[in-house]
Amino acid sequence: MPILYPLSQSETKTVTAEKKPSGWDPLKLTDEAGADVAGKTAYIGAKITAHSVLYDASVAYKPGLANKTVRLMRQLGVGGWTKVADVTTNPYGEAVYTYTLVDAGTNNFRYEWDGDATYTGCVKLGFVQVQMRR
C-alpha cells in the first residue's frame, strides 16, 4: 500500500513590477553661435537649438536612452502647446532640434516623452523672449 503524504504549499510571495523612471537633463536653448538664449531676448528669424538628454533615472550615472521618439513642443505666451517636431534621440539619449523663431512674445519650449513598456514618461521646459526686428 502506498504512503500518502498531505499536500503542502509554500507560502505565497509577491513582487510588484513597475516601469523605470526616466528624466531629462536641463533643457538648453542656444543660438547659432552656441550662446545660451534661455530666458533672454532673440529676434524673429533667429535659429535656436533645443537640446536635452533623455536618461534612465533608475541608476545613479543616468545613462542616455537611445532611439526614443520624443516631441518638441512650443507655447506662445500663455496659449496652448503645439507640436514643433518629433525628434529621435541619438545613441547618447540626446534630443536636438533647430527651430526658427517666427512669433514675437515669450516662446516656451519643452521636450515630452510618453514613455514606453520599460520607462515612465517625462517633460522638460525652457523659454526664450522673442522681439520683432524694426
pLDDT 10s digits, 65-79? 999 999 999 999 889
27-50 per-residue burial string, b: 16 or more CB within 10 A, e: under 16: bbbbbeeeeebbeeebeeebebeb
Mode of pairing for the β-strands spanning 81-88 and 28-30: unpaired
- The domain spans of the chain are 22-131
pLDDT 10s digits, 110-131? 999 999 999 999 998 776 776 6
Rounded distance, CA 39 to CA 37, Å?
6
Rounded distance, CA 66 to CA 53, Å?
10
pLDDT 10s digits, 23-80? 999 899 999 999 999 888 889 999 999 999 999 999 999 999 999 999 999 999 889 9
pLDDT 10s digits, 80-96? 999 999 999 999 999 99
pTM for the predicted model, two decimal places: 0.84
Question: In this structure, which amino acid lies at residue 8?
Answer: S
Q: Is 60 exceeded by the pLDDT of residue 132?
A: no
Among residues 66, 87, 73, the alpha carbon closest in space to that of 22 is found at 66
Q: What is the DSSP letter of 64?
A: B
Q: What's the CATH superfamily of 22-131?
A: SOR catalytic domain (2.60.40.730)
